[in-house]
Amino acid sequence: MPDTRATPPRDEGVHDAAGGSIAAAPDEDAAAAIARLQDENARLRAELDSVRALPGEPVAGPPAASTAPAVQFQSARLRAAYQEVAASTSKVRTLAILRSLSEYAAEQDLELVPILREAMRRGDADVCRMAMQMLSPYESAEILPALEQALAIPDQQTRLMALTPAGAIKDPQVANLLEQAMNCADEDVRARALEIAREQPPELQILSLAKGLSSSYSDARAESLSDLLLRGDKAAVGTVLSGLQSSDAEFRREVNETLLFLIDREFESYEQAVEWWSSNQSRYDDDLVEK
C-alpha cells in the first residue's frame, strides 16, 4: 500500500559537493550587496573630493573634512580656497593655491588669515614661510594668532618671519607674541624679539620688556633689564621691581644694582620693594627727578 504521509517540500536550495543542502539566504546576500555599494560610493566620493576646483570656481563635491574650525567667508573665492587648502595633501598644490591669493595679501584682507593658518597646520617649512611672507605687510592685531602659530613651527626662518609684522602692530597684545619669542630656544629669535621691543612706542615697549624680565633665558632677561635702565623713567622702575621675583639670585642682584642707579635704593624682596615704591613713587616725576 502506498505511503500517504505528507512528503516534506523539496529543498530547492544550493547543494554542496557532498550532496548536502545549503539553504539560500537572500537577505544576507542583499545586505552584502548594499555594503559593497556603500563602500564603492565612499571611494568615488573620495576620488571626487581629491579633484578640487581652482579658486573662484565651484568646488566639486562636499567640503573635505578638516580639524580646523568652521570659518565664515564673505568671498566665495576665498571660501573655495580654504576648502582646497584643507583638503590638500600636496605641498606643491598648497603653495600654488597660496600664490594665487597674493592680491588679497597686498590688500591686507583679513579673510586670508584663516586660509594661511590652515595651510600652516601641517607644519611644512616652505608653506609656513610663504604664509609669513604674505602676512608681512599686515598691521592688524587680528593676525597675531597666526604669528604665534608660526613661532611654534620648528623652522628658524619661519619664526623670524613671524616677527616681521610685529613692529607695525600697535596693540598691547604684541607683548604676548614677543614673550613667546623671548622664550624661544633659538637665540636669533630672542634677539629679534628684543630689537622689536626697542622700536616700540614707550607705552607698548614697557609691556614687552616686562615679559622679557621673566624669560627663561638669561640673555633675554639681562637685555630687557638693560633696556629698562636706558629708559630711566618712572614706568621703568615699576617694571624693574618685578625682576626681584626671579628665582635666579644673580639676576636679582643685577636688578638691585639697576634700582640703585635709578632710585638709589635696593631691597631684600619683591614685597618690600613694592611696599616702598607704592609709598614713595609720588616723590618722583616721570623722569625720576625728585620733586
Q: How far apart are CA 217 and CA 179, in angstroms?
A: 11
Q: Are residues 212 and 285 both part of a single domain?
A: yes
286 domain residue, yes or no: yes
Distances (CA, A) of 6 to 10, 163, 194: 12, 93, 101
Tell me which residue of 241, 174, 251, 245 sits closest to 220, measured CA to CA: 251
Residue 53: band (very low, low, confident or very high) from pLDDT cuts 50, 70, 90: very low
Q: Are residues 80 and 134 both part of a single domain?
A: yes
Q: Are residues 77 and 161 both part of a single domain?
A: yes
9 domain residue, yes or no: no
Domain count, the chain: 2
Q: Are residues 229 and 279 both part of a single domain?
A: yes
State whether residue 100 is helix, strand or coil. Answer: coil
**Pairing relationship of beta strands 14-15 and 21-22 according to DSSP bridges:** antiparallel
Q: How far apart are CA 172 and CA 178, in angstroms?
A: 11
State whether residue 22 is helix, strand or coil. Answer: strand
| pLDDT one-digit tens code per residue, 218-234 | 999 999 999 999 999 99
The domain in which residue 265 lies consists of: 204-291
Distances (CA, A) of 93 to 70, 96, 231: 22, 5, 49
Residue 16: band (very low, low, confident or very high) from pLDDT cuts 50, 70, 90: very low
79 domain residue, yes or no: yes
35 domain residue, yes or no: no
Instruction: Write out the H or E segment, with its range, that includes residue 21.
Output: strand 21-22
109-122: average pLDDT = 98
pTM comes to 0.74
Cβ atoms 120, 150 nearer than 8 A = yes
Q: Whole-number mean pLDDT of the chain?
A: 85
Q: How far apart are CA 18 and CA 44, in angstroms?
A: 42
129 domain residue, yes or no: yes
260 domain residue, yes or no: yes
Residue 72: band (very low, low, confident or very high) from pLDDT cuts 50, 70, 90: confident
Q: Does the structure show a pLDDT above 80 at 63?
A: no
Domain end residue (candidates: 121, 144, 169) = 169
Domain end residue (candidates: 169, 184, 214) = 169
28 domain residue, yes or no: no
